[in-house]
Amino acid sequence: LREPLRKKFLLKISGGNYTEFEPGRLRFHRRDFSLEILNTSRDDGRLYEYSVSKGPEEEVWQIQLEVFEAVGDPSIRILRREWAGGRCSLALGCSSERGDEVSYSWHNGDNGTGGLCSGHGRFLNLSYAARDARFGCVCTASNPVSSRAAAFDPAHCGLRQ
């Protein structure tokens, strides 16, 4: 014999009345019938059901909730530096210590598209003439719930930040 399936109710509505089974942790919004989870934790990431009974029938919707940790401030490190013939070549790495499913992108500091700083991923290779170092690079770390950025100044081949 198998164990019975168990469901934990968060909210029950009958007629015009409703009962919250975890008051203080949840907030029901009557205007749009949404349910807000307060102080979300990783344990809240699971499958939820929403059901409506209409006479002898019941409609059931299943919702998979995913919980993400917000991205922390990224930092940019110089992984390789070469200076030769008035040209600077740099390999930069960008990383964030916090966050789930973090993706990285690079762009010019003036919000321009393209240019030397254009790229996706944690790493960026730059090669430029020292006299042309009038641009800035920005690394953006982002995930589905947040986004943070850090800037890099290419002047003096990255010797001064």
How do residues 84-122 score in pLDDT, each as one tens digit? 888 999 999 999 999 999 999 999 877 555 578 899 999
Q: Read off the pLDDT of each residue in 128-144 and give the average, rounded to a whole number.
A: 88
How do residues 40-94 score in pLDDT, each as one tens digit? 888 889 888 888 888 888 888 899 999 999 999 999 999 999 988 889 999 999 9
Contacts of 120 (CB under 8 A, 6+ apart): 103, 104, 105, 106
Domains observed in the chain: 9-64 (no CATH), 74-152 (2.60.40.10)
Q: Are 150 and 102 in contact (CB under 8 A)?
A: no
pTM as predicted: 0.73
- The pLDDT of residue 157: 84
SS3 98: coil
